[in-house]
Chains A and B, each alone.
Chain A
Amino acid sequence: MNNEEKREIICKVLEGLPIDYSIGIKNAYVSRAYPSTGSSPVLKEYIPSYSSEIYKKLSKIVSYKEGKYHYKNGLIIPEECDEFCRGSSGIFNSKKLFSPIDYSIIGGSSSGAAMNLLLNKTDVSICSDTGGSSRFPVLLSKGILCSFKPGREKIDKNGLIEYVGDLDTPSIMSKNFLNLRNFYHFLSDEKFEEVENVPNLVPKFDNREVDEFLLKHKCIMKEFYKLKSTLYCWSNIRRYDGRRFGVYDNTYPSDFKPCPEFLKKCEIERIYNLKKKEVVSMEVRYKIVRKKIKPILEQITGILRNRYYLRILKFPGIIFPENSNGMSDDRQYFLELENILDLPCILLPSKYPGYYNLFVGPKNSQGKLLSSLFYEKLAAKLPIWKTDEIPVKKILLFKETDVC
């Protein structure tokens, strides 16, 4: 595919014209009149009265829509996936999803999206990321997949069933960069701009300094993430629990009791059954940790800004690569940190080991940076998935109820 052909596709996407794409949307994005459960029995009977922004936008570029698609071939069963996008390593599943390549655990709450991509069911998957949900599966995909997690509030996330509202970010997963770039521009409404004369993209970094600093404060950062996620999960379950009673005919039984029966055998039951005293003490601790962590976060951002600011490259931000493959405890911690610091992150497919974190200044356009990254350099150099190899070309927008 030469550059002109690529451009045609980009223009098609941007103009809202249909193209041969099958798009998977995570079940955490609600859509009107279809069950949207977030893979949780808490929202088992929930049929939303509105559609999420992403769903609305995507349905514009698709000419033929086959409703929502449920896999019933035995590969993926809804109960197996993580609830409410939680569980970045897939440990909360009763049955784990195994990669069709080497039968290792895919991991991550967006593991269903990765699975669909690996099985060539979809070309692009719209996932969400809280603590590494969309990055884990890519890291473990042996260099086949790539994903992009933009900064927060870049893509409108109205309609995304929240786990931790502050940290949840819509993200995109695919097999090539062109898709990521196109869909990012399409979903974020940022103008398409090409930056010319961007010099060499892969600079050499020594990120030991950052690592040492981070490792010092590792415990408190982990505690912060854990406290925040459990507290907000607790808060949100109560919210969804209320919906169980009032969403259909706006009536409650007079003996109103939130019954925890439907939560049995769920990991979320542990959080649901937290006693009020525990929650209150957790809340107090959370506020203390939040105060402590503020100067640490400022210091980290300071280090990043000073050490890695690419002045020579005339770049509106910084990039630092992570070279280690596979998953580890530290990696998970770093993934969580990225969300706390609001770092956009790109994961590259094979030939480029590891992934890249972009640290973009607040005033700079992320889209400009990305267009330069994806199109001019990376997308041109990297081997793009050939069109013949993608088997199904039905224009299809379906919902992966199994993906969460």
Chain B
Amino acid sequence: MSVKIGLEIHCPLLVNRKLFCNCIRNNSFCEICKGEPGTYPLLPSEEAIEKYCSVLDYYGITMEKLVFERKHYLYPDLPKGYQLTTRRKKYSSTNEIIEFIALEEDPAAIKGTKILKIDYTRSGNALLEFVTKPCFKTFSDIEEFYNKLEEELILNQIKVKNEPLRCDVNITVRKEGQDKDSKRIEIKNLHSLTNIKKSVTHQIKRLLSLDEKELKGPDETRSYDEATDTTTFSRKKETYVFLKQVNLSATNLKPGNRKLVSVCLIRENLKNKYNLLSQEEIERIIQGNWYEVVEKMENLYQVRKFIHLLKYAEINSYTRTEIITASSLCFQNISFYFLKNLLIFKSFTLEKREEVKIEQVTSSMKNIFGRIEQKRFLLDLEKRYVLPLEEVSRVYTFYK
């Protein structure tokens, strides 16, 4: 007996705006999100495409042009009657497991049982779909791949932390002495690993108990019920109609600016370079909660080492706002130093709303450093264009 399992993993993409309109992600909706007649999608958001490019680079998928297609299926969560998704043509994959990664829009969410209510706030969010080859044979393979993928996506600021990955599982079974695989069964909307495990084991058992005739039937789509721990038949597997989305021209894909970092590399680097961090702290950093680690540090020496460590570990994907919130959490003396180093290292430009926090942080400067160091710091800021020139002079006069 042999089992083939393939996955389709949907990852909510961490971007500010929705994919085809200017609405804020998970916050508001407009006529484009609702798919009202007469609306046309705007150009896809650059932020999403940049992240998509870097993901394609990292997972070894090459594609020249990004073309969006209408994928037609009729369901209440899709007010338009079709979903805009990436055309799966003219690409090549060097990845052993992942076949293709698509950028697509999220349908609306449905709530309620008798009267279904549609929540449009989710509709139009950017979504990454990882399609794997049917290469998994056991659940442990799936678990390993799933965990690694999730960690990497969180670490590199691709996935939204709080929202789970949504997974569809495709299963085929071949009994001993048979020439062909059985019918393909797709289980939709599995939100956690435990659900995947339960549904896959249940499905394999069910398939093996079927006759030869039943195994040859048409492909099915099933849904998993958590309460009864069983899968129920929802519909026959349908062929979709794909039509090119006119009015949206193809965009040329360039190699991504952000280079993603592998979790294994960071784990090794953090372990080997300094014996500063415990295993727990390393895991925290990888999960994206690294400012919790900084918060507990007590002296400048530790923080300095930590920054070097981050540099060495090639963690370069943290956003500016995260750094500033982290630094405000730390006690002032350290946070200033921490901020200064990171800002200069990253050559960030500061926005107006962040000025206040900078002032708070730099107010401690007087106590710790001498004048010469202050000057040096300000010159550094000016040189690297971290702060605009006016801002530097303002800060400088403040300390005079």
Contacts and interface: CB of A to CB of B under 8 A. Distances in A.
A48 B38 CA distance: 9
B111 to A, nearest CB: 10
Nearest to A28: B38
A251 B118 contact: yes
A280 to B, nearest CB: 6
B115 A253 contact: yes
A283 B116 CA distance: 33
Interface string A252-267: 1110101000000000
A117 B77 CA distance: 43
A239 B79 CA distance: 7
Given A159-B38, A165-B40, A231-B243, A254 B74 contact: no
Contact of B243 (A28, A232, A243): A232
A241 interface: yes
A245 B76 contact: yes
Contact of A160 (B38, B79, B117, B242): B38
A247 B38 contact: no
B266 to A, nearest CB: 44
B238 to A, nearest CB: 8
A325 interface: no
A242 B31 contact: no
Contact of B37 (A161, A164, A251, A279): A161
Contacts of A157: 40
- What is the interface of chain B mostly: helix, strand, loop, or mixed? loop
Most chain A CB inside 10 Å of its own CB: which residue of B31, B36, B72, B74: B36
Interface residues of B, number: 34
Interface string B224-266: 0000000000000011011100110000000000000000000
A29 interface: yes
Contacts of A240: 37
A52 interface: yes
B68 interface: no
A158 B243 contact: no
B82 interface: yes
Nearest to B80: A239
Contacts of A29: 38
A72 B120 CA distance: 38
Given A235-B81, A242-B79, A252 B36 contact: no
A245 B36 CA distance: 12
Interface string A293-325: 000000000000000000000000000000000
Given A240-B37, A241-B81, A235 B72 contact: yes
Given A159-B38, A239-B35, A283 B82 contact: no
Interface residues of A, number: 43
A254 B35 contact: no
B117 A251 contact: yes
A160 B40 CA distance: 9
B38 A158 contact: yes
B159 interface: no
B197 interface: no
Interface in B101-158: 110, 113-120
A48 B242 contact: no
A165 B35 contact: no
A256 B112 CA distance: 14
Contact of B39 (A43, A158, A245, A251): A158
A252 B82 contact: no
A283 B242 contact: yes
A389 B80 CA distance: 47
A231 B39 CA distance: 19
Given A232-B243, A276-B239, A279-B241, A242 B78 contact: yes
A166 B246 contact: yes
A238 interface: yes
Contacts of B34: 49, 246-247
A129 to B, nearest CB: 16
A242 B82 CA distance: 10
A186 interface: no
Contacts of B18: none
Contacts of B17: none
Q: Which 7 A-B pairs have the closest CB atoms?
A: A166-B246, A238-B81, A252-B76, A252-B116, A50-B31, A159-B38, A239-B81
Interface of B: 30-31, 34-40, 70, 72, 74, 76, 78-82, 110, 113-120, 238-239, 241-243, 246-247
28 contacts: A28-B38, A29-B38, A48-B31, A48-B36, A48-B37, A50-B31, A50-B36, A161-B38, A165-B247, A232-B243, A235-B81, A238-B72, A238-B74, A238-B81, A238-B82, A239-B37, A239-B79, A242-B80, A243-B36, A247-B34, A247-B36, A247-B79, A250-B120, A251-B117, A254-B113, A256-B116, A258-B74, A276-B238
Interface of A: 28-30, 36, 38, 43, 46, 48-50, 52, 157-162, 164-166, 231-232, 235, 238-243, 245-247, 250-254, 256, 258, 276, 279-280, 283
Given A250-B118, A276-B238, 5 more contacts: A48-B36, A160-B38, A235-B82, A238-B81, A242-B81
